[in-house]
Structure 1
Amino acid sequence: MDVQTAYQKTIIFATLKHLENNQTIADSELPYVIHLSNVAMEILIASHNTTHFDLLFATQVALLHDTLEDTNTSFEELEREFGIEIAEGVSALTKREDLPKEEKMIDSLNRISKLRKEVWAVKLADRITNLQKPPKSWDDLKRRKYKEEAKVILEKLKGGNDYLENRLKAKIEEYEQYLD
């Protein structure tokens, strides 16, 4: 399957799943698919700046990265629709609900680090995309913690994708403007 066909199939699947919950981007009326397509855009650009990069796989994982965490999609459904490797990538990017909040991110990063570098790239791209202007509801402490989490992601996934690592470093520096 070519990347364009896979992109269309995957974005339609993900959009419909997120629409079931009427999910929007925080503090906006914008449909959640904008976030998904922004993560995929980071992956598309990264692929042009990265050797030995499986764009087809990474694009599908990028578009699906929040389906297990934020929708009623099951692992089995993802596996059936997109294959085991994509389902496993999305699962690694999903925080486990059975863990205490302070352990969720590290657990996910540990699972991501055992998979292909394209999964690492999706996590980097997701945080790059999320380091935009924070939601109005976040206080300074929440914004600072989010920035510190970004540094942990960058450190834990070091060596996964030079291009996206440099983008994330720059976004972390830019995020300083949102801190009191």
Structure 2
Amino acid sequence: MKRNWSQESYIKSYKFAAQAHQGQKMPGSEIPYIMHLSFVSMEVIAALSVEKETDGNLAIQCALLHDSIEDTHTTYEQIKAEFGEAVAKGVLALTKDKNLDKHLQMEDSLQRIKQQPKEIWMVKLADRISNLQAPPHYWNLEKITRYREEGIQIYEALKDASDFLASRLASKIQDYKLFIDQV
């Protein structure tokens, strides 16, 4: 069976991301941050098995690298030199602009993502799918509700990129309501 992505591309990106995020933990846990990137890339790989007309290498590389600029000392220039301009632009679009007020960052990011190929949209869908797990114990009702609403915002903006991922995100958003009801 022919795939639209390569294992070599995955491994190269995974190693780079593991190095960049070394020592970081997933918020509210002792789980290494690389696990989040693995979950996001797994969601993208699952979608690629259904959506064959997609640049799988672009999607997977951006899935593994999507937090590199935002959460590490990695620069756009480093990603461009190592993975090319398309990947660097995708990762930059997926990076929140911390110069903006927090309440404006998601809308700005979504606008920049929408200027990128659909593969970048897929990464954002996969990112929120993987993040809609049980919220950290220290989140209050307002934070949990706002996070779910952001999920809906992402879904509405990017659902056309992937029927598979849009369906997964819609299901996760619905399930996440349980956490609101429990508070």
State if a TM-score over 0.5 links the two structures. yes
Q: Which residue of 1 aligns with 2:177?
A: 176
Cα RMSD (Å) of the superposition?
0.9
Task: State, as a whole percentage, how many aligned pairs show the same letter.
Answer: 45
Gaps of 5+ in 2: none
Alignment partners' CA distance in 1, 2:81 and 2:144: 38
Q: Which residue of 1 aligns with 2:45?
A: 44
1:117 maps to 2:118: yes
Question: Which of residues 2, 5, 13 is equivalent to 2:8?
Answer: 5
Partner amino acid for 1:17? A
TM-score by structure 2 length? 0.95
1:70 maps to 2:71: yes
Partner amino acid for 2:165? L
Q: Following TM superposition, by how much is the alpha carbon of 1:137 offset from its aligned partner in structure 2, in angstroms?
A: 1.3
Alignment partners' CA distance in 2, 1:103 and 1:177: 27
Gaps of 5+ in 1: none
The secondary structure found in structure 1 opposite 2:155 is: helix
Alignment partners' CA distance in 1, 2:42 and 2:159: 21
TM-score by structure 1 length? 0.96
Alignment partners' CA distance in 2, 1:37 and 1:120: 17
Q: 1:110 to 1:132 in 2, by over 3 A?
A: same
Q: Following TM superposition, by how much is the alpha carbon of 1:158 offset from its aligned partner in structure 2, in angstroms?
A: 2.7
Alignment partners' CA distance in 1, 2:150 and 2:45: 24
Alignment partners' CA distance in 2, 1:159 and 1:26: 30
